[in-house]
Structures are given as structure tokens and as C-alpha cells.
Amino acid sequence: MKNYIKTGLLIGLMALTACEDELTTEPIGLITQDQADDTPTLTMVETSARSSYYLLSNTLNILGDWNWAGGLVFQNDYVMQDVASDDMEKKWVSDGDQPWIDDLNNFTFTSTNGGPNGLWKYDYEGIKRTNRSIFMLTNPDIETITGITTERKNQLLGEAYFLRCYYYFSLVTNFGDVPLILRPVQTYQEAFDVAVRVPKEQVWNQIKADLNVAKDLLPNSKYSDNDEKWRASKAAAIALLAKAELYTENWGAVPALVDQLPGLGYALNTNYFESFTAEYNDNEVIFSFDHQTNATPRRGNGICAPLGWGFFAPSQDFLDAFEANDPRLLYTVNVEAQNVNKMLGSLDGTNKGNDSAPNNKVYIRYADALLWKAEALLQTGDYTAAVAIINQIRQRARNGVDANGNAVPAGTLPDRPATADAATIKNWLIHERRVELGFENQRMLDLKRWGIAQEVMQAHGKNFLPKHMLYPIPQSEIDASAGTLTQNPGY
């Protein structure tokens, strides 16, 4: 048997002992490199592609067994981007449970905190799986060996490139310079060789290059597969490419990319909350994880379980950010019932406490993409078009019914007036993104890229320092690499 590295101790991707020593269960959906190398079958190719999605799920304990301190119970997006921001608190009632989350909320965390540790391990496990899938699908003889059609091979390959980009997007925005691994790692020496951080610009260039490949490989239709509509699509690749261009301030490239999405079937839903309840029959959700109850392997939405234990509550500052009668507030959170409706995918508490709920985790939706376009237009001086998009988002919010089924009062969310003041428009955009995308893992990333994180966090009473623009590389990874991995400044 070949001596392939299994999973995460060196860089979250390829531990020498992680499956046995750190993780107490095999990661869900794992296909080993030995299986990929030994004559692959069509089933193996399909399973490998499917397993690459699982690290984007909120299914509980994919990488461990109730390893709270290690940040491995569920994906840490809500903790790292929402709790750490000024939008969300750890719990409805403050207590000492899971102090590592409090440390992230207060910016007193160190390089041993479970939040960055879990994020790193989830992302590199996902990258390991996509690399295996790409390794098999780029075998020039794969069609002859497995009988897979060229069309299906291209589709799965496009999905794999997209997913690898999504994991790297998470890594580069949270950690900056990171190891860039583009192939399966086969030996101990190779594991050490690739455990070296490369400049973030190189990671961004790879993300953009791979997304350009992915969008050309994926079918020119709304769904990559009409029987499995959850799969990454051409629109998902285009949207993530637009987001990458936005984050690297290549403003001119963003509008044309976003403008391709309507032609692939995407628009704003009539009702704001439909994105969080519909099962791939809406207009707006471009990419989400398809959670299912009682599936094999497990793929239920486990984030609903801690919601039943009192986790994840809005900050008062978040509640105060909404304008009078804005229906998006109650669609996001019901304070009286202590229900985070958007995370539950319900307006009546359904799924609360369910460790295998069926509601999907939304990652990209059209409203988000429209606001990227508005920001890019603002940066390039097209103020009229930028304000028009902001008003389009506001119009959708006020034209629907509220969470109780009532018409929104006249005069709610009036259009923003025309102005040539860029600072005013930027403030409108910042506000609109907060209330439109609240509890969707965007707030902290937005504040950081706008360069206002320290100002906003300190005004909120948090101990945010310049070093907190990046999270620390997990100390366990640095130790395992014998210092090959270097730490972010200040940690």
C-alpha cells in the first residue's frame, strides 16, 4: 500500500496521525488516495466528487466527536464572521459555556483557539478531497477506464475546481498567505515541502484561474444536473469569480460577471425569505449546501441543534441597525421567541434543536451579487447605477409581506435619493449589506476589506487590534511543521 498522508496535522490537509490521534471518526465521505490510484471505477469518481462538498455542510462532527475546543463540531463560519462581528452574540443568555467562542467575540483569542483551528482543518480537508477528484478526472484515460462520458467528466471537474476555489477563498480571506496545494500529497517529505505559505496574491491568482476553467467546463444552464440541483453550476463559478475580483479590488471586472447571472436564470425572489425555505425552485440562491434528514452519509443541518441550546443571538447593535418596519428584521430573527429564523429556515421555530435538520445552508445568492456590482460601480464612479441597485434591493424588501403575512406599511424603506457624494453612497451600501445579509457569514469579512473593522469593533467595545485583520495560523499546525509554517504577525 502506498504511504499517502491522510488528513490535517501538518496543514489541516495531510496529518501524519490526525485520523487516529486528533479525530475520533473518519471524515464523512472520505475516498482514500489509494482508492483513487488503484484503477478507479465510475462509482469511485462520482463518490469522490460528491464527498468534496461535505466540508461545506453544517452536519455535526464531520471531523471529530464533540471536539468543541478544537472547533470541529460544525463549520465555524457563524462564529468567525458573525459572532466575532458586531452582529451576533454567542448566546441569548451570557454564560461560561464554550469560552473559546467568547475569546473570539472579545478578540482575546490566541493561536490555540478552536475557531481558526476548525476553519483551517475544514478547508484543507475539503481541498484534499477536491485534489483527489481532480487527480482522477484529469487522468487522460479516465473515460476508457470508467466509462464516464466526456460531458459528465467535464461537469464533475468543473465542480471540483469551483469547490477548491471556495475553500481557498475562505483560507486567503481569513489567514492571508497560506500553503497552496494543487495535487494529492503522497509522501512525508512532500507533506513538509508543501507546508509553506505562499503570498496571498498567488492564491488569488490561482482562484481566478481555476474559476475561469470551471465556468467553461460547467453546463451552460441554470443547473449542472436537473436531478441534483444542489451541485455547483456555471453561475456559481461566475459569481465566486466576481466576488474574488471584488475582494482584490479589480472593480472593472465585477459588473460584467454579475450581469451574466440573469441569463442563467437568476433574479431576486419576490419574497425575501424564500431563499431560506425553498428547495432549489427559487430564483435567487446560486449556491448552497443541500442538507437532508436521514441521508447516508449524514448531511443534516446540525447548526439547528445549538440554536436549541441557546446559541447564536443578535446583538442590540444589529437590531438597532434596521429601519422602522423593515420586514427583514423579523425574517432574520424573532427576539421574543429567541429564534434565528434565517438559520432555522422557518418562521415558527421548526428545526430548532434538530441535529439533522433539512434546511439548506445558503452560500451565494443573487442579492449579494447585486450588491457586489453596486460596490464596483461606486468605486468606478457610476453613482447613479450604484444607487439604483441599492434601491432595487430595498424595493424587494418593502414590496413583499412581512413575516406575519401582512403588507409592509407605506413609506417603509424609501428609495435612496440621487447624489454625487461617494461617501454617502458607501454608507448606504454598508447599511444595506448588513441588513440584507445579516447572519449569512459576511459581516466581518466586509468590515475587514472595507478597512473599517478596527473602528467599528472598538466602537462596539471589542478589543480589535491591527493584528486581528487576519486570524492566527493554528499553533498545532506550526508545531507539526517544525516551524516550516510561519505565524501571522502579533500572535
pLDDT at 19 (0 to 100): 34
Lowest-confidence pick of 29-33, 53-57, 73-77, 315-319? 29-33
Q: Which residues of 214-228 are buried (b: 16+ CB within 10 A; e: fewer)?
A: bbebbbeebbbeeee
Q: Between the CA of residue 66 and those of 71, 273, 401, what are the distances in Å?
A: 9, 32, 40
Closest CA to 390 of 409, 367, 411: 367
Q: Is the pLDDT of residue 120 over 90?
A: yes
In this structure, what C-alpha cell is assigned to residue 321? 441597525
Cα 466 → chain centroid: 24
pLDDT at 190: 83
Confidence at 8, pLDDT banded by 50, 70, 90: very low
* More confidently predicted of 128 and 24: 128
User: Residue 153 has what pLDDT?
Assistant: 98
- SS3 state of residue 397: helix
Average pLDDT over residues 231-256: 98
CB 262, CB 254: distance < 8 Å:
no
Residue 210 CA neighbour count, 13 Å, CB half = 27
387 pLDDT tier (thresholds 50, 70, 90): very high
Residue 255, φ and ψ in degrees, nearest 5: -55, -45
Enter the C-alpha cell of residue 214.
470551471
Q: What whole-number distance in Å separates Cα of residue 436 and Cα of residue 258?
A: 18
> What does the pLDDT read at residue 186?
81
Which residues 6+ apart lie within 8 Å of 146 measured at CB?
Answer: 40, 41, 42, 44, 45
Percent of the chain's residues with pLDDT above 90 = 87
Give the pLDDT score at 29.
55
What ranges do the domains of the chain cover? 7-467
Question: DSSP code of 401?
Answer: B
16: pLDDT confidence band, cut at 50, 70 and 90? very low
Residue 237 confidence (pLDDT) above 60: yes
Partners of residue 227 on adjacent β-strands: none
pLDDT in tens, 316-366: 999 999 999 999 999 999 999 999 999 999 999 999 999 999 999 999 999
Q: Where does the pLDDT of residue 121 fall: very low under 50, low under 70, confident under 90, or very high at 90 and above?
A: very high
* Average pLDDT value for residue range 40-45: 95
Cα-only R_g, the chain: 22
pLDDT in tens, 92-119: 999 999 999 999 999 999 999 999 999 9
Spatial CA neighbour of 452 closest among 437, 435, 470, 466: 466
β-pair partners for 365:
285
- Strand-pair category, 285-289 with 361-365: antiparallel
- pLDDT class of 191 with cuts at 50, 70, 90: confident
Q: What's the whole-number mean pLDDT along residues 265-288?
A: 96
Confidence at residue 192, expressed as pLDDT on a 0 to 100 scale? 80
* Residue 274 parent element (H or E): none
Q: For residues 55 and 301, what is the distance between their CA atoms, to the nearest angstrom?
A: 12
User: Average of pLDDT values for 137-160?
Assistant: 97
**Peptide bond preceding 99 in cis form (omega within 30 of 0):** no
Predicted local distance difference test score (pLDDT) of residue 188: 76
pTM, two decimals, is 0.94
pLDDT above 60 (res 463): yes
**Nearest CA-CA partner of 55 in 8, 104, 103, 111:** 8
Per-residue pLDDT at 89? 98
The CATH code of the domain at 7-467 is 1.25.40.390
What's residue 226's pLDDT?
A: 96
**Whole-number pLDDT of residue 34:** 57
Q: Is the pLDDT assigned to residue 12 strictly greater than 60?
A: no
The C-alpha torsion from 211 through 212 and 215 to 217, rounded to 10°, is -110
Report yes or no: 446 and 158 within 8 Å, Cβ to Cβ.
no
Computed over every residue of the chain, the mean pLDDT equals 93
What pLDDT was estimated at residue 248?
A: 98
Distance CA 191, CA 218 (A): 31
135 residue type, one letter: F
- The confidence band for 2, taking pLDDT boundaries of 50, 70 and 90, is very low
